[in-house]
Amino acid sequence: SQKVKDAVLIPRYARINEHKITIGKAIKSFKNEGYTLVDCPENFSELGLKDFCVDRHLPDMLVFHQKTDFHAHPFYLNGNMILQDKASCFPAHVCQPTKGAHAIDACAAPGNKTSHLSALMKNTGKIWAFDLDSRRLDLLKKLTYKAGCKNINPVHGSFLETDPNDTQFAEVEYLLLDPSCSGSGIISRLDHLVDDDDEKKKNGKDADGKTQKERLQNLADFQISIIEHALKFPKAKRVVYSTCSIHPEENEHVVKTVLKRHPDFKLATRESVLPTWNRRGIPEEINGNKDLAECVVRTVPAEDLTNGFFVACFVRKSPNEQAEK
């Protein structure tokens, strides 16, 4: 409804594509255009019409007033910047792929996170980008070409059907998993949160004959299968899971199930999962375990001025840690 749209005015986030331009040069160019670089305010709604700042959590992100329209800007058209919500830039930063590494983006199209991984890897190493949907994969090819990515191998097909023991994947250490989800955190879809019929919908059935509970369960089962498949890659080191959902069923509950079934993996701790981001998981949704909740990241649209998002990172336990069990 209009009420929610008015309440959540997301600023214009622009991820600077370091394949094409440095953040320093981009800043200089925006200043020349008449924008003023300011210290990042606590609340982005305080940004003036011609102000911009470097995001305090993501070093490759510039933040502008919400009314800034960059769709005809040369930097957008030539791939120097990517108009991507701040929270959706979290997963690649959490993944931390190194130069020369081998990585997989399991549910990759349209490829915004793939091109981000590519930028962080400085166009070295290799990224296999899977997607089930050929039209979306075509878009990924176009967008990653425009972004100057040279280390991406797009693959049309289900990630679930890849063989983790295939020799071509022998060195894959980084996996980014951004599977289909309810999308309940996306701002334009937040209307249902203030819908008087919300409770009714929860218990009633939708056109597909499923209750919300059943739909979330189906999504969660799929999300868990994607994570479990990723954990089978022999050298998997950092496996990042994300959703743009606000439902614990797709977030903390999924993580809880995977940890229970895979004692050889644990969650990466806060120190390597956006340590400066203060909104973490909901302890009550993860066995009341505050330590586990600290390891994961959440965003809340009305308060963080981003889409609603969730990120967790699974890491393999060391042989010593595994022996302790």
Please return the burial class of 242, using the count of CB atoms within 10 Å of its CB with bins 0-12, 13-18 and 19+.
buried
The answer for 238, left when phi > 0, alpha when psi is -120 to 50, beta otherwise, is beta
Structure tokens at 212: 């919300």
133 belongs to the binding site for ligand SAM (CB under 6 A): yes
For residues 146 and 169, give the distance between their C-alpha atoms in angstroms, rounded to a whole number: 26
Q: Which alpha helices (H) appear in 157-309, and where do they start and end?
A: 198-203, 212-230, 252-261, 290-295, 301-304
Count of C-beta atoms within a 10 Å radius of residue 139 = 15
- Interface with ligand SAM in residues 179-218 (CB under 6 A): 179-180
Of the residues 107, 244, 295, 313, only one is catalytic, namely 244
- Interface with ligand SAM in residues 282-311 (CB under 6 A): none
38/139 with CB nearer ligand SAM: 139
Q: Spell out, one character per residue from 64 to 103, where the chain touches ligand SAM: x when CB under 6 A holds, - when not.
A: ------------------------x---------------
For residues 120 and 93, give the distance between their C-alpha atoms in angstroms, rounded to a whole number: 8
Using the rule CB under 6 A, give the single segment among 1-9, 10-18, 43-51, 177-185 that binds ligand SAM.
Answer: 177-185
153/180 with CB nearer ligand SAM: 180
Q: Which alpha helices (H) appear in 175-284, and where do they start and end?
A: 198-203, 212-230, 252-261
Q: How far is the CB of 164 from ligand SAM (least distance, A)?
A: 14
DSSP state string for 125-155: SEEEEEES-HHHHHHHHHHHHHTT--SEEEE
158 belongs to the binding site for ligand SAM (CB under 6 A): yes
- For ligand SAM, the binding residue among 11, 79, 97, 111 (CB under 6 A) is 111
Q: Taking a C-beta distance cutoff of 8 angstroms, is the pair 53, 37 a contact?
A: yes
Q: Which residues contact 96 (CB under 8 A, 6 or more apart)?
A: 120, 174, 238, 272
- For ligand SAM, the binding residue among 54, 81, 108, 286 (CB under 6 A) is 108
173 belongs to the binding site for ligand SAM (CB under 6 A): no
Q: How far is the CB of 286 from ligand SAM (least distance, A)?
A: 22
- Amino acid at position 15, single letter: R
Q: How far is the CB of 322 from ligand SAM (least distance, A)?
A: 29
Q: How far is the CB of 197 from ligand SAM (least distance, A)?
A: 26
Q: Nearest-CB residue to ligand SAM?
A: 107
Give the single-character DSSP code of 204: S
For residues 88 and 186, give the distance between their C-alpha atoms in angstroms, rounded to a whole number: 11
Q: Taking a C-beta distance cutoff of 8 angstroms, is the pair 311, 95 a contact?
A: no
Q: How far is the CB of 312 from ligand SAM (least distance, A)?
A: 15
Structure tokens at 210: 């499923």
Site size toward ligand SAM (CB under 6 A) is 20
244 belongs to the catalytic site: yes
- For ligand SAM, the binding residue among 51, 85, 173, 178 (CB under 6 A) is 178
8/109 with CB nearer ligand SAM: 109
Which positions lie near ligand SAM, rule CB under 6 A?
A: 88, 106-113, 130-133, 136, 158-160, 178-180
Positions marked active-site: 244
